[in-house]
Amino acid sequence: MVADKNENVTCTSFYTIKMARLASGYSELIACNILGMSMNELKHIEEDSSDLTIARAQQMSSLYEVSIDSIYFGKNNIT
């Protein structure tokens, strides 16, 4: 199906936490310093964000300038 030129077409993108960090241009070290966490904690979150608290998710979403609705929460199976 081809969209009519007058139709609104919505494209949804999802980011892993790591993809959001990389897209925003933050290194692991800088992100850790701003977020107040260790490198090990960030690496764990980037590998599996399924147990991320709402407060931490909001903090990371704000820092990385990515809508919290477009972040994938779960195991990162992308290498």
The enclosing domain of 27 has a CATH number of 1.10.260
Report how many domains make up the chain: 1
- The answer to whether residue 11 sits within a structural domain is no
pLDDT at 68: 92
Give the C-alpha separation, 11 to 18, whole Å: 21
Flag whether 30 is in a domain: yes
Residue 35: count other Cβ atoms within 10 Å of its Cβ. Answer: 17
25: which DSSP letter?
Answer: T
Q: Is residue 8 part of a domain?
A: no
Higher-confidence residue: 78 or 61?
61
Dihedrals φ, ψ of 71, to 5°? Answer: -100, 135
Predicted confidence (pLDDT) per residue in 12-27, tens digit: 578 899 999 999 999 9
Res 3: pLDDT:
46
Q: Which residues of 3-28 are buried (b: 16+ CB within 10 A; e: fewer)?
A: eeeeeeeeeeeebbbbbbbbeeebee
Residue 37 resides in a domain: yes
- Give me the mean pLDDT over the 40-58 stretch: 95
The pLDDT-based confidence of 31 (bands split at 50, 70, 90) is very high
